[in-house]
Each structure stands twice: as C-alpha cells, then as structure tokens.
Amino acid sequence: MYKKFIKRVLDLLLSGIATVILAIPMLIVALIIKIDSPGPVIFKQKRVGRDGKVFEIYKFRSMKINSEHSGSGVYSGKNDSRVTRVGKIIRATSIDELPQLLNILKGDMSFVGPRPPLTYHPWAVEEYTEEQFRMFEVRPGITGWAQIHGRKCVEWNERIKMNVWYVDHMTMWLDIKIFFLTFFKVFSNADNENVGATVKKDSTESVSDNKDEVLK
C-alpha cells in the first residue's frame, strides 16, 4: 500500500507545499546565479529513472556552462575551477538540488529513493546486471539510503547494492529515517566531496572494461 499509493501521495503533498514555501527563496537564488555567471539558471541533465527510463533532472547551475564536456570528466573535486563562486555555496548546502521538487511533481522522482545515475556513468543502462537493475524498480530520490551511508565517498558497486537493499526494505519509517538523517549530512556537509574516481571492478560481478575507466 505504501509503495504503490501512499508514498506517491506524500511526495505530491510535500513537494507542493515545499514549492510554495520556497518559491521566493528559489527565485532569489536564481537571480544570484544569473548575476554571478553567464548561462542558464537551471542545469538539465539526462538521468536514468524508474524502469530504466531516461528523464531530465533539474538543478540550479553550479558550474560554468559546458563544464560537463570540458574534458575534465564527471568528477568534481575540491577547488574545481569549473564551479562558480555561487556554485560552491549552493553545492555545499545542497541548495542546488531544490529544483528537483519539480521532478517530484512531474512523477520523475521521489523525496527518498536511489539517486538517479547518469545515462553513461557509472556505466550504460544495458550493462547493469539483473540484480543491479533492480534499483530502478522504484522512483529515484533526492536522497537515499546510500546518501546517508557514505554519499560520494562510496564506490558505485557498493552504492548500487545499498540501492537494491533499499528497494527490498522500503517502508514509510525507513523513508522518514533517511529524510531526517539527510539533514544531518547536509548541515555537516559530510561526504559531499568526490575524493577520486568511484568506479571500479567488483570481483564478485562480471563487469565490462569500460566500468574500470577512471573518469577524472
């Protein structure tokens, strides 16, 4: 009942309320981003969602335009020159994630669920094992089980295992626990910095060579 109906109703209700309450602060953030650097306020990126379907995730732009294709890779570490002055602040506080309230309203995402990966990273959709692909049985979330257990410091095979565990154990009380523990992570800014490439071959799984590629 919770997985099929109640969770979605709560997502719609809470995201609607949050969007109204945060509308003016979000407009102010958007204005500051526009003043700080040239380019669009909202950054759109293709991600893999429920059932492996691709959707566009929304974020406040925190990097200079065309940074993703600049040759510096998908990892953004400390003192990354691609990140704008305002971008450093909104990343550290996770304010850049607020536009995903619209993704929740559209039905692309949930407040709690596995974070949606890129279409090409850590690897292409068709390269997930049958067990790994189970993480896409639910809507991806703004935060999730892996985010409160290491966040960006956890290697992707382990993140996916945590995501599958969440799918098997999802309850309202678990979602509430994850939701509130996320605030602690945000306020402490814990594990919010890439310390290096987080894709490596898992000895227990058959992983193609491009999954070993170090993207820096």
The sign of the torsion formed by the CA atoms of 142, 7, 9, 5 equals positive
pLDDT score, position 206? 37
Each domain of the chain, given as residue ranges in start order, spans 2-212
pLDDT score, position 65? 81
For 181, the enclosing helix (H) or strand (E) is helix 172-188
Nearest to 138 by CA among 1, 4, 40, 11: 4
Judge residue 165's burial from the number of C-beta atoms within 10 Å of its C-beta, 0-12 exposed, 13-18 middle, 19 or more buried: middle
Contact 145, 163 (CB under 8 A): yes
Contacts by residues 36-40 (CB-CB < 8 Å, ≥ 24 positions apart): 36/84, 36/85, 36/86, 37/64, 37/84, 37/85, 37/86, 38/65, 39/64, 39/65, 40/65
pLDDT score, position 31? 97
**Residuewise pLDDT in 10s, the chain (216 residues):** 898 899 999 999 999 999 999 999 999 999 999 999 999 999 999 999 999 999 999 999 999 887 666 555 555 555 677 899 999 999 999 999 999 999 999 999 999 999 999 999 999 999 999 999 999 999 999 999 999 998 777 899 999 999 999 999 999 999 999 999 998 888 776 655 555 556 665 534 433 333 322 222
What is the chain's length? 216
pLDDT score, position 23? 97
pLDDT score, position 204? 42
Nearest to 94 by CA among 50, 52, 128, 62: 62
